[in-house]
Structure 1
């Protein structure tokens, strides 16, 4: 009979393989719709062929990869159906979660999130005034701050299964951004301001307003992904 350690080792290896794949996906070293072979994944991740073969069924189950006969492995392909499905799932889940977040989030949590968002806005506007391009560090910080708010909202549900499912859907959202629209091209400041509208409502414990602000933010993101950019009149003003 296998010991506990003998059982845990392959489990840890599978988790390591999954984490490695996600890292390369988020680093844009793997692109939506790209075809890759098992051996290419071995070279990219530094993992064994056995680990990659064990990883494939999980990635297929999560909708991040599929096996195409005669062609090999394909990273999730971005199309209208994926965009609509991913954003519908996100909207359904986050609307429910933000009601609890608006009730239970601590004042300290809200204040820290607001501080980070305002600092990013200030950095972006300062860079724009100097007619300089945004630095990779600032763009990475904005991306992480964007996710940190949404992650905090969903985690407020206190449900590990939902939180993990949300993170998988977030991977698909990242693929959509890479393929269809650039979060980092003129979108950082408007997105941060939309977040501040949500946080302002949360800080005032205004559940209905928080739901409305979050819904609007997600709808704008979906419209951009589908090529239906919101008009200037729809932009959110910075909340003081």
Structure 2
């Protein structure tokens, strides 16, 4: 049987995913204004599929369609950054409380070992791409594990969206990752883990809130 042609919905999903891949790999500069044709050529997708994908991307805040002027790629400002972290503090406060109820001591020990390994590498003082990638992987995986511990699809989806928005913020040149920032992030996670090991949900919520407040300041360049 001949393979069915890809449906418009499937093609728009491809366009949607390729846009995000291009954005986070810096092929599409944040704040840039491009034409629909230029974007379709870059993503190697049909304009019809791109138009459909753009509707969702605009709702999610990744771009703005300008009538007769093209497509403006998002460039988050300080207000947007604060909004994202405010939402994360609400979501992750509940998430870390659920994680405190459900995580095993074995899981916590594994997370501690992963964080301590990153700190040891970062203390070398040189920030290389491999260290950045590995620290980002541990950071994102830890926060995702917290979100997934809620077992609430709506909260997990909202958290994923917030993490993507903050990922866009980190594409800006103002966001510079240093060995000190990596160590601080990992140590703040370890402070959260210490409260979880002590089986103290209230302290875990407070430690997570303090971590996210400091993370916001780092993202602001403070």
TM-score by length of 2: 0.89
* In 2, Cα distance between equivalents of 1:139 and 1:27: 14
Match among 86, 94, 97 for residue 95 of structure 2 = 97
Count of residues in Structure 1 that have an aligned counterpart in Structure 2: 218
Matching of residues 219-230 of structure 1 within 5 Å: 219-227=213-221, 229=222
After superposition, the C-alpha distances for 1:117-166 in whole angstroms (9 at most, x for unaligned) are: 111111111x32xxxx3221221111111111111111111122321222
Q: Does 1:206 align with 2:204?
A: no
Shift of 1:70: 4.0
Q: Does 1:177 align with 2:170?
A: yes
Helix, strand or coil at the partner of 1:158: coil
* Equivalent residue, structure 1, for 2:191: 197
* Equivalent residue, structure 2, for 1:157: 150
Whether the aligned pair in 2 keeps the contact of 1:63 and 1:76 (CA below 8 Å) is yes
After superposition, the C-alpha distances for 1:160-197 in whole angstroms (9 at most, x for unaligned) are: 23212221221211122222422346311110111111
Whether the aligned pair in 2 keeps the contact of 1:177 and 1:183 (CA below 8 Å) is no
* In 2, Cα distance between equivalents of 1:184 and 1:75: 27
Helix, strand or coil at the partner of 1:178: coil
Helix, strand or coil at the partner of 1:103: helix
* In 2, Cα distance between equivalents of 1:155 and 1:117: 19
Q: Which moved more, 1:57-66 or 1:99-108?
A: 99-108
Where do 5+ consecutive residues of structure 1 fail to align?
230-240
* In 1, Cα distance between equivalents of 2:121 and 2:178: 14
After superposition, the C-alpha distances for 1:74-128 in whole angstroms (9 at most, x for unaligned) are: 1222112201111111111111111001111223322222221111111111x32
* In 2, Cα distance between equivalents of 1:31 and 1:164: 26
* In 2, Cα distance between equivalents of 1:36 and 1:171: 21
TM-score by length of 1: 0.82
